[in-house]
Structure 1
Amino acid sequence: MRLRATFILLLPLLLLASHTPTTPPATEQPGYQLIQPALLSAHLRFLSCDELEGRETAKRGQKIAARYIAAQFERLGLKPLGDSGTYFQRFFVKERRLGPNNELVVKVGNLTTRFNRLFEDFAFAVRGAQATKLSGNVVFCGYGIRDKTLSYSDYDGIAAQGKIVLLLSGIPKTARQSESLERWNDTYTKYLAALEAKPLAVFMVVGHSATPSLKEQFDSRKDQLAMSTMSLVDPARTALPESRSTNPPFVLISTEVANAMLAPYQKTVSELAAALEERKPQSFELKQVTASLTIDIVEEVLPTENVCAMLEGSDSTLKHEAVVYSAHYDHVGVGISGRVFNGADDDGSGTAAVLALAEAFAKNGTRPLRSMIFLTVTGEEKGLLGSKFYTDFPKFPLKQTIANLNIDMIGRIDEKYEKLGNPNYIYVIGSDKISKDLDAVLQEQNRASVNLTLDYRYNDDNDPNRFYYRSDHYNFAKNGIPVIFFFNGTHADYHEPTDDFEKIHLEKMSKVVRLIFAVGWELGHRRAPLRRS
């Protein structure tokens, strides 16, 4: 009886305890309150200034940013998680960049004309291009159409093998209403058809038939086309990996260059385009013409680094598990035009968020039970290189990494939400793909904190943008680690030199960072593991 009476007296307390959250509310934490626009602004203003030269991977500005991030981690007393007791995880990349000696030469008899104004006389993309020196005869093959269903081919009777194939861009005006010919408007379709002829190279003329000139078409795009490419270097290799390509080069040329080739035949691009309106091939070999092409691609192995730190958990057992906060601190650098791509939103905003989160947790007073890892990676813009290296050579065991919260572009408002007049949103990607428990934590913490609109539009497996595969969380997801990618969507300044600090919405950004703090706080305290879906 006495035992029963004691139980009855304790019952209200037991019921109260069963409904009391085991995790102290994130919103009541000093660290949560510390996340303010001013804190984010201080970091982001520096990271996106012109002096950092667009933070291109392995370049001066990226190195300055890396030292800045490491200094912040050190100031906060966080444990270095890099190499040899530093905050830096170092690795090497092979860069392929545009060299200075690019030229197209047209020789007709004893007359030699040199064209060396890249993106005015001729153009190509560094991505996919190989260092090239070639010279050969030229064959003109109209619009480059080879269509069996129409019984039409611009290659009939032309021996194009081992020669430079000269094509016109687009299709005849009279064919623009034809569905069967419309596919030949596609440049890649033309290139594939040309490859069947086994040419030495493919030159395509742009700027004819009342379309903008090559210079006009590429003036705003040349920075992107000229951007260097990079790939990871295997740590076991010391020599420069050899580049190989079996495909002939594809080059766009101006009407001026094409007309120089056609001059000995008293023809012009405009005249040939007009004749092709009759849908009869005008193909012929330019026997008096030799064209030479030099594509100058410089390859170099360069050092770069991720920057990573850890706040050790307070529980003797759970501290051996961790939540990883990640963002990429690199951007695309300085364009061939000399314009600086500051990347304030992409991904200065995410990097500033990771630094603010590091400060929030470090100064909170009460530490989570699990460890918190703050990882800023480089090489994202070159193909998720830094996160690939980290997950290949992790500084904390992946099997004990319970989640990755990746932050890439959270400082702007996209067109959809601009029209709605609602800045208080965030796109959520990947939160339910590996663990539905993680998505449940996200939704619960959102309701309990900032109550943003969580938009799952880009989480759809059929979304054509494929954002799930395009940021650093993906390298964690490939290893079976539950992930959330926080993203504000694209905007007109995405990958443009106009992605500047002045356009950042700091109030909106601080709300997103508070939500991310709350999610990490809950993950750092919950006893139950995240169940895999």
Structure 2
Amino acid sequence: MFTLNRIGILLVLSFFFSSGSSFGQQALPYARSIIDTLSAPGMHGRGYVADGHVKAAQFIAGEFGKLKLQSFGNGYFQEFPISVNTFPEEVTLKAGDRVLEPGQDFLVSPCSQSISGRYELMPLSAAAIKDPQVLLTQLQEARNRVLLIDKTGFSHAPKEDKQRLEDVLAFLRGFKNNPAVAVIVLTDEKLTWHVAQQPCERPQLIVNKAAAPDSFRFVELEIQSKFIPRLTTQNVVGLLAGKNPGKGLVVYSAHYDHLGRLGRNTFFPGANDNASGVAMLLSLAKHFAQPQHKPEYDMLFIAFGAEEAGLLGSRYFVQNPLVPLENIHFMLNLDITGTGEEGIKVVNGSVYKEHFELLQSLNREKELLRQVSPRGEACNSDHCPFYEQGVPSFFIYTLGGIQAYHDIYDRSETLPLTEFEDLHRLLIEFTKKLELIY
């Protein structure tokens, strides 16, 4: 009898420990597998070359299907059109006799058009940056040449001079009658890429000065861009019915798109931005889809497309909502959740103070994250279009750890997921408390 009681106690304890581990230890292997998959070369940076965005969306929809989330038709997809400039083919730069590596040594401005050939360089003086008349004069001498601008000379310049430099660079990209064929900018800053919806008039290349020769008079360029004026991409949307269906929603969101490819051989993995957020989204969906964790209210899980192109997926959803926006009790947007050594930052934390204080108190009670820090309004992720329509929302991102961002080094193998488990548990606890508020 003693043996049976002891076995019974062990079984009960194992049940509780296994249930608790779903907060963390069971979440982490699944999350890592999601990040590995989404940031793998076969996803092509989840951009618009080789259908990377479609492959990623199909994978997420497959995970929604495994969890038996309800779709709104079209296989969890909400399609919408965008325009985008891409680089599917050759992207090469030879400075003097040195061949530079895309992503590592140089980037091409995402709005750049195609260019091919060998060109003489023409340095643009600091005086031309500061004086519009001098700039126009020097431009007349730049016909069929590549302008060279050394940005490192402005490292310690006054703020207004730095802004003037950025204004000149924008002018040179967009000036239709620019006599120069392209612009090369030497920099000692981190190389950070983006997505462009439209092409600009002149190609612009940003080159790591340390990678370039000390002096060179000629460059050989082979940049093949492809502008797509109308491309169909998609949000991925799944609904988990709660115990009280139709009486309001809690929304979790994360964008799945990233920067794609820069030529045939260079891609941007986007492990932290934002495969990590998608991994958190799916981990939460997996938790709440279990019968023992069924939420009181409906939960909507949205993986947004085209965030990097300007929050296009979330804006389309708000303009074409699949659920009434007024039915959303609260939205939590997850964008960059792969570190956490310094805790988390909560955009709109100083706006929705009651909700933020709840999040903080839960963190203190459970002793999870180092800090939960508030931030004010910021239209810097997919919560913004919802917030602008009056939907209460937080945007949460982790702090500390690796600095890889919008570059080729944002890889799964170097992403620590330091506080992923604790953030996962905090969000679960917060969601449960939200149900009591509403």
Q: TM above 0.5, one fold? A: yes
Is 1:346 matched with 2:336? no
Deviates more, 1:319-328 or 1:366-375: 366-375
Q: For residues 256 and 431 of structure 1, what CA distance do their matches in structure 2 show?
A: 48
Q: For residues 479 and 63 of structure 1, what CA distance do their matches in structure 2 show?
A: 28
Q: Which residue of 2 aligns with 1:307?
A: 236
Q: Which residue of 1 aligns with 2:297?
A: 370
Deviation at 1:311, TM superposition (A): 1.6
Counterpart amino acid of 1:443?
A: Q
Q: For residues 395 and 137 of structure 2, what CA distance do their matches in structure 1 show?
A: 55
Equivalent of 2:87 in 73, 77, 98: 98
Deviation at 1:62, TM superposition (A): 3.7
Q: For residues 508 and 320 of structure 1, what CA distance do their matches in structure 2 show?
A: 33
Deviation at 1:330, TM superposition (A): 2.4
Q: Which residue of 2 aligns with 1:427?
A: 345
Q: For residues 503 and 172 of structure 1, what CA distance do their matches in structure 2 show?
A: 29
Deviation at 1:298, TM superposition (A): 1.3
Q: Which residue of 2 aligns with 1:128?
A: 111
Deviation at 1:503, TM superposition (A): 3.7
Q: For residues 401 and 304 of structure 1, what CA distance do their matches in structure 2 show?
A: 25
Deviation at 1:404, TM superposition (A): 0.9
Structure with bigger gyration radius: 1
The equivalences for 1:441-520 within 5 A come to: 441-456=358-373, 459-460=375-376, 468-489=378-399, 491-506=402-417, 508-520=419-431
Q: Which residue of 1 aligns with 2:33?
A: 45
Q: For residues 413 and 101 of structure 1, what CA distance do their matches in structure 2 show?
A: 38
Counterpart amino acid of 2:308?
A: E
Alpha-carbon distance change, 446 to 339 in structure 1, aligned in 2, over 3 angstroms:
same
Counterpart amino acid of 1:431?
A: G
Q: Which residue of 2 aligns with 1:272?
A: none
Whether the 8 Å contact between 1:330 and 1:347 is mirrored in structure 2 is yes
Deviation at 1:518, TM superposition (A): 1.4
The equivalences for 1:173-212 within 5 A come to: 183=161, 187-188=165-166, 190-191=168-169, 199-201=178-180
Whether the 8 Å contact between 1:171 and 1:182 is mirrored in structure 2 is no
Q: CA RMSD in A?
A: 4.8
Whether the 8 Å contact between 2:185 and 2:205 is mirrored in structure 1 is no
Whether the 8 Å contact between 1:407 and 1:487 is mirrored in structure 2 is yes
Whether the 8 Å contact between 2:258 and 2:273 is mirrored in structure 1 is yes
Q: For residues 335 and 18 of structure 2, what CA distance do their matches in structure 1 show?
A: 25
The equivalences for 1:98-117 within 5 A come to: 98=87, 100=89
Q: For residues 439 and 429 of structure 1, what CA distance do their matches in structure 2 show?
A: 10
The equivalences for 1:250-269 within 5 A come to: 259=217
Q: For residues 247 and 332 of structure 2, what CA distance do their matches in structure 1 show?
A: 18
Q: For residues 260 and 324 of structure 1, what CA distance do their matches in structure 2 show?
A: 54
Equivalent of 1:356 in 257, 274, 283: 283
Q: For residues 405 and 100 of structure 1, what CA distance do their matches in structure 2 show?
A: 38
Q: For residues 272 and 247 of structure 2, what CA distance do their matches in structure 1 show?
A: 33
Q: Which residue of 2 aligns with 1:298?
A: 226
State, as a whole percentage, how many aligned pairs show the same letter.
Answer: 23
Q: For residues 408 and 98 of structure 1, what CA distance do their matches in structure 2 show?
A: 25
Whether the 8 Å contact between 1:331 and 1:381 is mirrored in structure 2 is yes
Q: For residues 162 and 171 of structure 1, what CA distance do their matches in structure 2 show?
A: 19
The DSSP-based 3-state class of the residue aligned with 1:95 is: strand
Deviations 1:473-528 (A, max 9, x none): 2222122211122211363222333333344445621110111111112223323x
Deviation at 1:146, TM superposition (A): 6.6
Deviations 1:95-144 (A, max 9, x none): 2113657899xxxxxxxx9x998979x9873433346799x999886444
Is 1:87 matched with 2:16? no
Deviation at 1:339, TM superposition (A): 4.4
Q: For residues 63 and 156 of structure 1, what CA distance do their matches in structure 2 show?
A: 45
Counterpart amino acid of 1:310?
A: L
Q: For residues 338 and 42 of structure 2, what CA distance do their matches in structure 1 show?
A: 19
Alpha-carbon distance change, 413 to 259 in structure 1, aligned in 2, over 3 angstroms:
same
Deviation at 1:375, TM superposition (A): 1.2
Counterpart amino acid of 1:456?
A: S
Alpha-carbon distance change, 47 to 102 in structure 1, aligned in 2, over 3 angstroms:
closer
Q: For residues 289 and 136 of structure 2, what CA distance do their matches in structure 1 show?
A: 72
Whether the 8 Å contact between 1:310 and 1:371 is mirrored in structure 2 is yes
Q: Which residue of 1 aligns with 2:13?
A: none
Q: Which residue of 2 aligns with 1:69?
A: 60
Alpha-carbon distance change, 29 to 304 in structure 1, aligned in 2, over 3 angstroms:
farther
Q: For residues 69 and 444 of structure 1, what CA distance do their matches in structure 2 show?
A: 33
Q: For residues 137 and 494 of structure 1, what CA distance do their matches in structure 2 show?
A: 33
Deviation at 1:314, TM superposition (A): 2.1
Q: TM-score, normalised by structure 2?
A: 0.73
Alpha-carbon distance change, 197 to 172 in structure 1, aligned in 2, over 3 angstroms:
farther
Q: Which residue of 2 aligns with 1:391?
A: 318
Q: For residues 298 and 147 of structure 1, what CA distance do their matches in structure 2 show?
A: 34
